[in-house]
Structure 1
Amino acid sequence: MIHHYHVTSEREESFSLDFEIQADATFAQLMDLLIDTLDFDPASIGMFYICDDRWQNVGQVAHSDFFESDAGNQYEIEKTRLEDLLDDTGARMRYLYDFFEDRYLRLQLVKIHSGSLSSPQIISLEGKKPRQTDPDEFVGGLGGDVLSIDTPLGMMDEAFDEELFNADELSSDSFSIVDEE
């Protein structure tokens, strides 16, 4: 069986992607297709959320190291096949491709038909591709220069804008000190 998916972006309104993939492909193979097609960083962590008809999460497909305790049903990305969780036309999922900015792609299964493919097939790709946040760009955007593991501790204070943290706004009422014996 072959699954035909339509993909849109929550951030890039002009973007759309249609592709076909074997129904017995794993979610890891699907993620590889998305990474290759959209020029995402293959070292970045991604995960899928199985959704109901209102795009609410009802399950999670990820590497077991990244399971969230409140995500509902959890499935391993390397072992779970598309057909195991998505067997009806209209089935929905979201792919979290950017943890820093909480960016998702929406995927909807629009057609299931018989046949086989030797590899996934891109049917159409339109609009501006969504982009992932570069971790260095994200840290640098917090108010200072890009930080690295080699940045001296004194320079880290200088790298952040003082407006992000105001010690005068802290109240001792919200803290408690526990004496350990």
Structure 2
Amino acid sequence: MVYRFKLVSDEVSNFAREIEIDSENTFLQLRNAVLDSVDFAKDELDSFFLCDDDWQKQEEITLEDMGHTASDTDTWLMEETPLSELIEEEGQRMIFVYDYLTERSFFMELKEIYPSRTLADPVCTFKKGKAPKQSVDLDEFDKKIDLKAQDKIEDLDIDVFSTDDFNEEDLGDGFDIMNIN
């Protein structure tokens, strides 16, 4: 059985990839196909997350066991986990986090299942647009975050230093200064 995944980015609007992979291949093989399709190095830690319909993370499939999961939680390792063990139906969503430091990721969806086909190696069958950079300069990233935060504050139209709402009568409530003679 062959799965066809579509891959998009929230950073680059015209970016897309489609990858076909056999359902018995592992998440590690899917990882390598994703990284190859965007020309990323394979020297960083990354993870897949199975998601619900609202892209809320459910299960994590990790490159390495970091020992951070609770003892009653299964640890899924990419190298040991076939896709078919966790993915069964079209529409299944996943997030592939490729940059933990800045939480940058690709959003993936299983678009189609070909039950009568097999595939020896994963293949990228569709490429559109240029992929985002694998890593970003942290100073540049911080500046973008600061600008977005400033825009949000301006959108609220609040002057945090304004005295318009200041009421002197409220100032003394419970904090009256005692007159000591």
| TM-score > 0.5 by shorter chain | yes
Residue type of the alignment partner of 1:16: A
* SS of corresponding position for 1:30: helix
Residue type of the alignment partner of 1:103: R
Partner of 1:129: 131
Alpha-carbon contact 1:60-1:67 (below 8 Å) kept: no
* SS of corresponding position for 1:128: coil
* SS of corresponding position for 1:104: strand
1:132-143 residue pairs with structure 2 within 5 A? 132-133=134-135, 137-138=137-138
Alpha-carbon distance, 1:131 to partner: 1.4
- Structure 1 length-normalised TM: 0.70
How many Å separate the matches in 2 of 1:63 and 1:120?
18
How many Å separate the matches in 2 of 1:51 and 1:68?
20
Residue type of the alignment partner of 1:96: V
Partner of 1:42: 42
Partner of 2:154: none
Residue type of the alignment partner of 2:6: H
How many Å separate the matches in 2 of 1:118 and 1:64?
25
Alpha-carbon distance, 1:40 to partner: 1.1
Alpha-carbon contact 1:27-1:78 (below 8 Å) kept: yes
- Structure 2 length-normalised TM: 0.70
Over the residues paired in the alignment, what is the CA RMSD in angstroms? 2.2
Residue type of the alignment partner of 1:89: E
After alignment, is 83-92 or 34-43 more displaced?
34-43
Partner of 1:119: 121
Structure 1 gap ranges (5+)? 144-181
Alpha-carbon distance, 1:105 to partner: 0.4
Q: Tell me: CA distance 1:140–1:127, structure 2 relative to 1, closer, same or farther (3 Å).
A: closer
Residue type of the alignment partner of 2:110: L
Structure 2 gap ranges (5+)? 144-181
* SS of corresponding position for 2:19: strand
How many Å separate the matches in 2 of 1:43 and 1:64?
12
Residue identity (%): 27
**1:145-179 CA distance string (max 9 Å, x none):** xxxxxxxxxxxxxxxxxxxxxxxxxxxxxxxxxxx
Residue type of the alignment partner of 2:61: V
